[in-house]
Amino acid sequence: MKRPALIFDFGNVVAHFDYRKAAGRLGIKLGISGEELLERLRPLGFSDLLKSYESGKISAEQFSEGVGRLIGLEVTHDEFSVAWADIFTANPSVAELIAGLKGAGYTLVLGSNTNDLHAAQFRRQFAETLGHFDRLVLSYEVGHIKPSAAFYLACAEAAGAEPGDCVFIDDLAENVDGARAAGLVGLLYTTTETLRADLAALGVEPS
């Protein structure tokens, strides 16, 4: 492999997230816990609704209306947006690794299944770390979601590299498999220590 381009998943790699935070805020309005709200949403087709939203097929307004309809929740779009967006916390060891990789001159691309409300939140909240990335490939903008091959090919194109010269790092095995199927090198993120070792094995070292 040539000096590879490095593509990072966002959620639970660059930063952590927890949907229970959003569910907790919405659950209060129904008098139930966040856990109960998520339990209720699961069999009602929430993941299909989220998929439509994160592949850019429906707008934030349609998504919040859709969630409200699923669970019988009446909130304004603004109330929903505030509750929905703030779910992220830092992953400092990965932030440090990213800064080091940028310092060593690697091309860095973010490859995230996400939506406009979350992206607006995380771009603000993690502006410093995301500033090290050359490009952000966001599912709702490109119209493809992991693990579809088109998503990974869009990431390689954004990196200006052949798929075989790209390393895709993700915490979900399904997404790593998808990257490999599209011809990229896939690395499963478990701990930052393991990731550093896996990158070193490919000859990739931060500054």
Least distance (Å) between residue 12 CB and Mg ion: 4
Say whether residue 9 binds Mg ion (CB under 5 A): yes
Least distance (Å) between residue 91 CB and Mg ion: 11
- CB-wise, 44 or 181, nearer to Mg ion? 181
- Tell me the C-alpha distance between 132 and 122, whole Å: 14
- Tell me the C-alpha distance between 8 and 110, whole Å: 5
DSSP letter (8 states) at residue 88: E
Say whether residue 54 binds Mg ion (CB under 5 A): no
Q: What residue type is 180 in one-letter code?
A: R
Q: How many CA atoms lie within 13 A of 135 on its CB side?
A: 19
Q: Which of 3, 12, 33, 99 binds Mg ion (CB under 5 A)?
A: 12
Q: Which of 171, 177, 183, 188 binds Mg ion (CB under 5 A)?
A: 171
Least distance (Å) between residue 21 CB and Mg ion: 16
- Contact between 182 and 157 (Cβ < 8 Å): no
Least distance (Å) between residue 79 CB and Mg ion: 27
Instruction: Quote the radius of gyration of the chain (alpha carbons, Å).
Output: 18
Say whether residue 62 binds Mg ion (CB under 5 A): no
Taking alpha carbons only, the member of 188, 185, 205 closest to residue 196 is 205
- Tell me the C-alpha distance between 73 and 26, whole Å: 8
- Tell me the C-alpha distance between 66 and 58, whole Å: 10
Q: How many residues of this chain interact with Mg ion, rule: CB under 5 A?
A: 4
Q: Which of 5, 6, 8, 11 binds Mg ion (CB under 5 A)?
A: 11
Least distance (Å) between residue 171 CB and Mg ion: 4
- CB-wise, 134 or 171, nearer to Mg ion? 171
- CB-wise, 12 or 33, nearer to Mg ion? 12
Catalog residues that contact Mg ion under the rule CB under 5 A. Answer: 9, 11-12, 171
